[in-house]
């Protein structure tokens, strides 16, 4: 199953807030939900899905393995615990959330455990997140490029991550963009706002369309139903080459996700 181009992110949302967000999203037609062990909301996401009435086989659910569970003895048990919380027998995609800090757990060990999880039917696909060119190349060498379903990385008009995205494209590895709106910063940008006004669109739709037109999947989050509904319309918005060129100029290598002690040496 290919990764849907548009999904719902749940980072920083917990309790009733994430339950309502997922419920509203599913009601509006979202069918891809992205969560992670470290978000501590898998049980809430599972509850929202279970109560939505949407058939499980219509959904694409992604979770991510945290860095203290990347070892061969911990990964599969931790994924089974995630499945219990999500109230499902399998997820569609499991990602290495961050590379093992300092390479404490060899990548081949983690990828081997993910392959075992897939063989057991616990996950449909597996991939990586926050991987640099060197790490992505290592993952491809170990597992094969066809086995790496995606590299989920921070990409926004302010952090276009060109080196990594170009390498992934060369290798045929799909990119999922997170923080595409840069915590809302880019929707305040005058260039994005001008394009939005000209196209009778919202600034968020413009930023999301910019990522979609490059072939990336996007997973924006929102706690407001109106914004969830509006964001979906980015899929129908087409930016001109001139629009894309204007947004390309906004890159300023402004990275928002780089946790100390966990983040790799970025490209």
DSSP characters over 154-220: E-BTTB--HHHHHHHHHHT--EEEESTTGGGTGGG-HHHHHHHHHHT--HHHHHHHHHHTTT-EE--
pLDDT tens-digit series, residues 39-80: 999 999 999 999 999 999 999 999 999 999 999 999 999 999
pLDDT digits (tens, 9 = 90+) for 114-127: 999 999 999 999 99
Collapsed DSSP state (helix, strand, coil) of residue 58: helix
Between CA 56 and CA 74 the distance in angstroms is 26
pLDDT of residue 126: 98
Question: Looking at domain 8-181+216-222, which CATH architecture does it have?
Answer: Alpha-Beta Barrel (3.20)
pLDDT greater than 80 at residue 35: yes
**Which neighbouring-strand residues pair with 127?**
95
Element (H, E) at 62: strand 60-65
CB burial readout 207-231, b (16+ within 10 A) else e: bbbbbbeeebbbbbbbeeeeebbbb
pLDDT at 139 over 90: yes
CA gap 148, 226 in Å, rounded: 34
Q: What is the pLDDT of residue 22?
A: 98
Report how far residue 128's alpha carbon sits from residue 96's, in angstroms, rounded to the nearest whole number.
5
Length of the chain equals 267
pLDDT at position 1 over 90: no
Q: Please indicate if the annotation marks 174 as binding a ligand.
A: no
- The owner of tokens 């891809």 is 32
Q: What is the mean pLDDT of residues 140-166?
A: 98
Q: Are 122 and 92 in contact (CB under 8 A)?
A: no
39 is catalytic: yes
Q: What is the pTM of this model?
A: 0.98
**CA dist list (Å): 65 to 15, 97, 128, 257:** 20, 5, 10, 17
Question: Which position among 30, 39, 158, 178 bears the catalytic label?
Answer: 39
Residue 100: closest CA among 132, 67, 71, 66 = 67
pLDDT greater than 80 at residue 160: yes
């Amino acid at each position: 199953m290919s990764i849907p181009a548009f999904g719902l992110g749940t980072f920083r949302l917990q309790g009733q807030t994430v339950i309502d967000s997922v419920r509203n999203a599913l009601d509006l037609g979202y069918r891809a939900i992205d969560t992670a062990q470290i978000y501590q909301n898998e049980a809430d996401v599972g509850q929202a899905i279970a109560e939505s009435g949407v058939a499980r086989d219509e959904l694409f659910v992604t979770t991510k393995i945290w860095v203290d569970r990347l070892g061969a003895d911990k990964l599969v048990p931790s994924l089974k615990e995630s499945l219990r919380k999500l109230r499902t027998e399998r997820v569609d995609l499991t990602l290495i959330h961050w590379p093992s800090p300092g390479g404490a757990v060899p990548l081949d060990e983690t990828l081997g455990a993910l392959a075992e999880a897939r063989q057991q039917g616990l996950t449909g696909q597996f991939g990586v997140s926050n991987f640099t060119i060197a790490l992505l190349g290592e993952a491809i060498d170990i597992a094969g490029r066809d086995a790496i379903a995606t590299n989920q990385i921070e990409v926004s008009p302010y952090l276009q991550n060109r080196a990594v995205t170009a390498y992934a494209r060369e290798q045929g590895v799909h990119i999922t963009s997170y923080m595409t709106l840069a915590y809302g910063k880019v929707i305040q940008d005058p260039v994005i706002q001008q394009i939005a006004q000209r196209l009778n669109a919202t600034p968020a739709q413009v930023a999301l369309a910019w990522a979609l037109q490059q072939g990336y999947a996007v997973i924006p989050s929102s706690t407001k139903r109106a914004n969830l509904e509006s964001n979906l319309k980015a899929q129908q918005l087409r930016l001109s080459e001139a629009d894309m060129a204007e947004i390309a100029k906004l890159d300023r290598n402004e990275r928002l996700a780089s946790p100390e002690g966990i983040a790799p040496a970025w490209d």
